[in-house]
Structure 1
Amino acid sequence: MKRTAVYALTTQGGRLGRRIAEKMDGDLFLPRELAKAHGGEPFDRILDLLEKTFAGYRSHVFVTAVGIAVRAIAPHIRSKIQDPAVVALDHRGKYVVSVLSGHLGGANQLAREVAAITGGSPVVTTATDTEGVVSVDLLAVQEGFSIDNHSAIKAVNKAILNGEPVQVYDPESRLGGDWSGIEWSSVAEEGDWDPSRPCVWVTWKIANPSSKRLVLHPPVLVVGVGCNRRTEAKEILNLVESTFFAHALSLSSLLCIATIEEKQGEEGIIESASHLNVPLFFFEASRLRTVEVPNPSVTVKKHMGVYSVCEAAALLKAGAKTILVPKTRSRNATLAVALQC
């Protein structure tokens, strides 16, 4: 997916749009007659253009009236989870309005970035921003957490805005950010929370969400993988999914996959990482040999020159001393899970 699309309808707007597109490394779209004279991608009708571009860019900048932007994007809006960031500004760049996906999509931040380019002022209307308090969904995005149940965001943010206490279950202190000005109470044990009050629940385990319990999954689980040559991705993925399910681990907390460098050309591992949308790391055998593992294997040593691939790779990448899930195997693959320190 491309980063930024910039749209303008007038000559003056086109000049400003070009400056924004150049600064943000974006694509500029102009009416056909303006595109001929000033460059940019030509279009005939902006409504037709948005059918092609809306889902293809992470952010959209309209150098137009807000109403034009709203009418152009209206048929394509789905949900705050899926929609890209949209901002609109006047052709002088004086006011940059956050139009769609202020928090999760990043439109509020986009408005600030565009305003910095134009010398104008960002206009942000989301309640938590106007009140100067943190939004829990924005905090989750900033920390790289996955939100399990977006429906609970409203209850938590409402409590924050009203100055009501918010329960926080975060036993490993994974949730950073600025909580100043928020009344919150720590939940020490899983069974201690009050289901009648809003709660932010930070965990790498599978959790049952509710309308008032917002479940956030931090990316902290490292999967180490070893396999025979030409092992199919399907087998590796099945092993990952079944192992996570058996140990009540959330796939939303998967940080990455790690293995030995000899597997750099192993398509099954590469495809698995791509399917799970996580990075893939390779370690030299000499580094894996330095890691103490609970299940060393003479067979693995014979073929790979190390006593462990999956456990050693998981521990090394996670920076951990103890394994969370020891070596588990399928017919052609092995897997271990470590918790990032």
Structure 2
Amino acid sequence: MEGGCAGASVFPLFDAPVTCYIPRMPNNTDVAVYALTRQGLILANRLAIELGGTVFAARRIAEGAGVQPFDSLPELVAENFLRFSGHVFVAAAGIVVRCIAPHLAGKDRDPAVVCLDQEGRFAVSLLSGHLGGANDLAVRCARVAGGQPVVTTATDSAGLPSLDVLAASRELEIGNLDRVKVVNGALLDKQPVQVYDPEACLGLAKDALFLPVNHQNDWQIGEPGVWVSWKEDCPDPEALRLYPRVLMLGVGCRRGVGRDEIYSHVVNVFEAAGLSLRSVAGLGSVDVKADEAGLLEAAADLGVEPVFFAKERLDAVDAPNPSGTVMRRMGIGSVSEAAAILLSKGGSLLVEKTKTRTVTLAVARRK
């Protein structure tokens, strides 16, 4: 594979859905901060200013611009839990646990939850420390409050890297979330962890905790390991699979073609080429297709926002397989190949134009 490397998306791959996980990190406008006491409200306001969050305070103490009052914390949490990717409570941990418990869905879906005492002495990462970003959020809160972050995830307390955090930092999708704990457990037990990563997406080649596997045939089946690839080429069902999102689709289609025809062609081409739908990072076409419902729906199923190029930009690309039919109908030689190349910023075509009666597709790898 060529050198170089680039969040849950659900891909209905063949007959069974395949879920991939993009670790989520709260941003500066997506944090709710809660206060139950007057002293806690002072700290909550400081946190909200630094985090860019929204302050919610018990009605009896709510005062000041921007503070939203509430009467029942459990009811408010029920309303807010999935609205915000980060929740910071200036409250006792027991209260917080009772409020969030009914809404927990899983580590791949739960938002980050941090709680602080009203003095700001401790900022405890309570929920979704890695995938949700609560560990990082606790550190940020402690910095604002002048207190101590409390992080209890095993890899962090042992000073070891966690593979879900590494995946987040490298913009890699996790294909099988359940294997993260296996690899992290091996690191904690000081077992060697093999890594197949020919494009150095994880950057672990010089890390003594990991054993680089340079050739697929050298992989030890059943031993703890991480397989990084934009292909469906992992031979070991026990390996943690990570996918760089670097594959760009160029799509052309006839007017009125349905989502199923477009999506099925993508699936068939990817299966034949051994590529992973988990690594799809973009879809491009010509701007006259910007209102094509089937194309928009197929892009949504693939978890990407479509990009539409003007004819002049597409016509300037030296596509390897220009079409006389496309030239007669649209005045340009290529849609699918040209769009894939543009979207990949000049990357190489992995799959040249393939077509059905109604759909054309090309796949390029982003540089």
TM-score normalised by L of structure 1: 0.90
1:172 counterpart letter in structure 2: E
Question: How many Å apart are 1:81 and its aligned residue?
Answer: 1.2
How many positions carry a matched residue from both structures?
Answer: 340
**1:201 corresponds to 2:243:** no
CA contact (8 A) 1:174 1:202 kept: yes
Question: How many Å apart are 1:308 and its aligned residue?
Answer: 0.8
Equivalent residue number for residue 62 of structure 2: 35
Question: How many Å apart are 1:87 and its aligned residue?
Answer: 0.5
Equivalent residue number for residue 351 of structure 2: 325
Equivalent residue number for residue 154 of structure 2: 127
Change (3 A) 1:30 1:180: farther
Q: Does 1 or 2 have the higher relative contact order (CA < 8 Å, sep 6+)?
A: 2
Change (3 A) 1:222 1:39: closer
* Distance across 1 between alignment mates of 2:235 and 2:70: 45
Question: How many Å apart are 1:173 and its aligned residue?
Answer: 2.1
1:90 counterpart letter in structure 2: D
CA contact (8 A) 1:165 1:182 kept: no
Within a 5 Å distance, the mapping from 1:213-292 to structure 2 comes to: 213-292=239-318
SS in 2 for 1:82: coil
**Greater Cα shift, 59-68 or 276-285:** 276-285
Change (3 A) 1:95 1:181: farther
Q: Residue 8 of structure 1 is aligned with which of 16, 25, 35?
A: 35
The C-alpha deviation readout for 1:102-148, integer Å capped at 9, x for no partner, is: 11111111112222322323221212222222111100011111111
Change (3 A) 1:181 1:247: closer
CA-based RMSD: 2.4
CA contact (8 A) 1:133 1:181 kept: no
Equivalent residue number for residue 294 of structure 1: 320
Question: How many Å apart are 1:83 and its aligned residue?
Answer: 1.2
SS in 2 for 1:71: helix
**Going by fraction, where is helix more abundant, 1 or 2?**
1
Equivalent residue number for residue 194 of structure 2: 167
Equivalent residue number for residue 122 of structure 2: 95
Question: How many Å apart are 1:292 and its aligned residue?
Answer: 2.8
Which runs of 5 or more residues in structure 1 are unaligned? none
* Distance across 1 between alignment mates of 2:334 and 2:122: 58
Question: How many Å apart are 1:319 and its aligned residue?
Answer: 3.4
SS in 2 for 1:55: coil
* Distance across 1 between alignment mates of 2:222 and 2:290: 50
SS in 2 for 1:99: strand
Question: How many Å apart are 1:320 and its aligned residue?
Answer: 4.4
CA contact (8 A) 2:347 2:365 kept: no
Which runs of 5 or more residues in structure 2 are unaligned? 1-25
Equivalent residue number for residue 117 of structure 1: 144
1:63 counterpart letter in structure 2: V
Change (3 A) 1:38 1:263: closer
* Distance across 1 between alignment mates of 2:129 and 2:330: 50
Identity across the alignment (%): 46
SS in 1 for 2:269: helix
Question: How many Å apart are 1:37 and its aligned residue?
Answer: 6.9
TM-score normalised by L of structure 2: 0.84
* Distance across 2 between alignment mates of 1:217 and 1:85: 24
**1:70 corresponds to 2:91:** no
2:334 counterpart letter in structure 1: S
CA contact (8 A) 1:207 1:215 kept: no
Equivalent residue number for residue 73 of structure 2: 46
* Distance across 2 between alignment mates of 1:207 and 1:236: 24
Equivalent residue number for residue 340 of structure 1: 366
